[in-house]
Amino acid sequence: MDLWIHMMHKQMNIQMPIDTNITYSTYWDNFCGCDRNCITSPNIFIHTFIMELLLEQKPFLQKFVLWKKHIENPFYNDSLKCELWNIFIKTQRTYNGFAKFARMWKIKHAKIQVDTDLYMNPITVKKGLTMSIYQNGSLYNFTIPNLINICNLSLMNSPDFFCEPSIPKNPYTNIPFSNAILYSIYEAVRYSNYRMSNLLHLYYLCNFDLDLFYYKYEATIRDEYISYFIKTNNSDELYPYVREMLKKVIIPKKINIDKNFPQDVLVRIMRPFLKLYLIHSSSLSSTEYRYRVYFELKYKLTKFAEYNPIFGRVIMIKKPSLQFYRPKKTYIISYNTDHIAFNDINIDENINLFETKDESAMIDSSSDDDDDVTEVISTILQPNFILNEQNIAANLFEDSTPNLSDDDMEMDDTDSMS
C-alpha cells in the first residue's frame, strides 16, 4: 500500500516522506506539514482519495472500488476527472511494472519442487508443450495434457451423476489454483497444439466463478461426465448399467444374457450402446438429440439381436472320451459371443427412427428378471463362429478314434432358466 502511494506522489511531483507503516494519522501529519503546492488541484483530490483509502482500511485490491466511488463525485468537472485518471493510470502502470519485475525475480530464484509429470516421466520445459506454475514460492512443471486432465476432472466432478464441480487444484499440494494461475493455464492451452477443453473454456467465460459456471452449464457438465464415465470406468462399475439397459430398453426380440456371461466381454461389446442409454436416461439437456439417441439405441439393439438371436447364451460342448467304457459326460462351457459391432450398424437416411414413437417412447421400467436360456450343443453340430474351447475340442477329435458310437453323437438340447 505505501509503495503504491509513494508512486502516486511521484506522478504528482511531490517529495513528501511517508512512514514505512503508513496510517491515516501519520499521513495526515505529513500532509499538514507539506508546502502549499500539495493542496492545489488536482493534488488535493488525490490526497482526499488516499486518506479515504487509509481511513477505511480496506484490502489493497479494493482501491479500485473506492477509486470508482471517488471519481464519480458529481462536483468534479470533466477536465478534473481527466487529470485524476491520468495520475491514477500512470501510478497503476508503474506499480504493475515493478510487480512484474518482482515476480520475474522470484520465479528465477524459486526452487523447482516437481520436474516430472504425473506418470513420473521427466519434463523438458518447452513452450507449447509444458508450463511452469509458480505457487507458494515454488515452481511446479506440468505438461499441457496433464493440466487439461486436472482441470477437466475437477470441473466435471459428478459423483452418482450429481454435478459438484470444484476448483482445479495442484495435485502435489492439494491447493486450489488461483484465478491468475487459471488464466495462465487457459492461455497456455489456447496457444498450444492441444485441443482446448470445452469445460475449461466455459469456466473461463464465467471469469472462473464456480457458482456461475455450475448455474449456467450444469447440463454440459453432466454430458461431459457421461462421456468420461463410459470411457474410463472398468467393467465392474459399468456392468450394472449394462444389465439395466438390456432390461429396460424395449425391442422386438429381447437380448437374454446368461448371468454367468463374462462381465468384461459384455461391457466391452455394449460400451458404445451404453453411452446412448446414459445420455437419454441421465442427461439434463433438453435438446432433440437426447430423445433421438433413445430411438437410435433401440434401432441398433434391434439389429444387434437380429444378427445373432442367441448372443449371450451358454454353449456346453461335450468332451470326447478315448476310453472303451462309457464314462460320465463332461462338458466344456463357453458362451456365444458372435455379434455385430456398434459402428457396423449403419442408420440409413431413409430409415425413420421415430416410427415406433407412439408405441414406446420411454424406457421400459419393468423390473422382471432376465430370462437366461442355456443351450447344450454337441461337438458334432458346432455353430458357425469358432471359440477357443471349441478349437480345443476339435483338436481332441482329430487325435481320437473317428468311429464314435451313436450314444456319443447324441445331442442334448435342453433349455434351462438361469
User: What would the DSSP string read from start to end of 168-236?
Assistant: -B-TTT-PBPPHHHHHHHHHHHHTSSSPPPHHHHHHHHTTT-HHHHHHHHHHHHHHHHHHHHHHH--HH
Same domain, 341 and 305: yes
Same domain, 97 and 153: no
Write down the pLDDT at residue 375: 38
Q: For residue 373, what are the β-bridge partners?
A: 417
Same domain, 274 and 363: yes
Confidence band for 369, pLDDT divided at 50, 70 and 90: very low
Lowest mean pLDDT, pick from 253-257, 267-271, 339-343, 404-408: 404-408
Q: What digits encode the pLDDT tens for the residues 116-139?
A: 877 788 888 888 888 989 988 889
Same domain, 317 and 395: yes
Write down the pLDDT at residue 31: 57
For range 320-348, the mean pLDDT: 78
Same domain, 338 and 279: yes
For range 62-89, the mean pLDDT: 83
Same domain, 74 and 139: no
The domain boundary, picked from 228, 261, 295, lies at: 228
Does residue 404 lie in a domain region? no
Query: Domain tally for the chain?
Result: 3
pLDDT of 372 above 50? no
pLDDT of 27 above 80? no
Does residue 116 lie in a domain region? no
pLDDT of 206 above 60? yes
For range 234-245, the mean pLDDT: 92
The neighbour count for residue 151, using CB atoms within 10 Å, is: 22
Write down the pLDDT at residue 402: 40
The C-alpha cell that represents 278 in the structure block: 446414459
For the chain, count helices (H), then strands (E).
13, 6
Contact 320, 393 (CB under 8 A): yes
For range 372-384, the mean pLDDT: 35
Confidence band for 366, pLDDT divided at 50, 70 and 90: very low
| 242 φψ region: left (φ > 0), alpha (ψ -120 to 50), beta (else) | alpha
Same domain, 138 and 105: no
Same domain, 278 and 352: yes
Confidence band for 58, pLDDT divided at 50, 70 and 90: low
The C-alpha cell that represents 4 in the structure block: 503504491
Residue 280: name the closest of 327, 254, 318, 248 by CA: 248
At 10, which helix (H) or strand (E)?
helix 2-11
Same domain, 292 and 373: yes
Does residue 121 lie in a domain region? no
Contact 302, 288 (CB under 8 A): no
Residue 113: name the closest of 167, 202, 173, 64 by CA: 173
Same domain, 253 and 373: yes
Domain with 315, as residue range(s), is 233-399
Confidence band for 197, pLDDT divided at 50, 70 and 90: very high
DSSP labels, 25-46:
HHHHHHHHTS-GGGGSTTHHHH
pLDDT of 84 above 80? yes
Q: What digits encode the pLDDT tens for the residues 263-317?
A: 999 999 999 999 999 998 888 887 788 888 888 899 999 999 999 999 988 888 7
Does residue 412 lie in a domain region? no
Same domain, 152 and 221: yes
For range 384-411, the mean pLDDT: 39
| Rounded Cα–Cα distance for residues 191 and 193 (Å) | 7
Same domain, 368 and 262: yes
Does residue 122 lie in a domain region? no
Confidence band for 368, pLDDT divided at 50, 70 and 90: very low
For range 316-332, the mean pLDDT: 70
Query: Which range has the top average pLDDT, 30-34, 48-52, 272-276?
Result: 272-276
Confidence band for 144, pLDDT divided at 50, 70 and 90: very high
The domain boundary, picked from 202, 228, 254, lies at: 228
Write down the pLDDT at residue 290: 83
For range 152-171, the mean pLDDT: 92
For range 94-117, the mean pLDDT: 86
Does residue 346 lie in a domain region? yes
Confidence band for 13, pLDDT divided at 50, 70 and 90: low
Q: Is the dihedral of CA 251, 253, 257, 258 positive or negative?
A: positive
Confidence band for 113, pLDDT divided at 50, 70 and 90: confident
- Across 301-386, the runs of DSSP E, i.e. the strands, are 314-318, 331-335, 374-376
Grid look-up 433349455 returns 415
Write down the pLDDT at residue 43: 67
For range 360-377, the mean pLDDT: 43
Mean pLDDT of the chain: 77
